Amino acid sequence: MENVTVKIDKISDISELYTEFYKDTCDSTGTILIHHGKAKYPGKYIKDYTKIRLFEKTPEAEKILKEKAAEIFKMYDLNSLLAVHNIGTISKNDPILFLAVEARDRETGFKGMRELLEFIKSEKFLGLEEIK
């Protein structure tokens, strides 16, 4: 059974996401990787932004991300994968993205994490607008 969860939703508590992810780890798991992307300051496009707007560039964004995550899950034979991308208007230091990968070994864990992270950060399906 695939253990892949992908959501575009408000992130309120990173520790809750991790706790929920960790509670059902597999016996064969040797590596758990976490990526917690946050709104860094100064900004990438507007150095002294006041807020960041996170939005879906297409109504199919979540579906596309779920399909890619399922592909990566199978390709690297991962035990579990969780991706939650924040949406709406956020402030500096707020979470943007939470990714968790559970794998049998470091090599497949890091490769799977990196591939999904780069896919999400391509900004083809999800957008980031820094607001002055």
Mean pLDDT of the chain: 95
Note the pLDDT of residue 44. 87
Residue given tokens 């946050």 in the structure block = 38
> Do residues 104 and 34 touch, judged by C-beta distance below 8 A?
no
The CATH class of the 4-131 domain is alpha beta
Over the Cα atoms of the chain, what is R_g?
A: 15
Q: Which of 41, 37, 38, 57 is nearest to 49 (CA)?
A: 41
Strand 80-85 versus strand 4-8 pairing type: parallel
Residue ranges per structural domain of the chain: 4-131
Helices 106-121, 61-75: axis angle to 10 degrees equals 160
pLDDT tens, residue by residue, 77-112: 999 999 999 999 999 999 999 999 999 999 999 999
Note the pLDDT of residue 12. 87
pLDDT tens, residue by residue, 113-128: 999 999 999 989 999 9
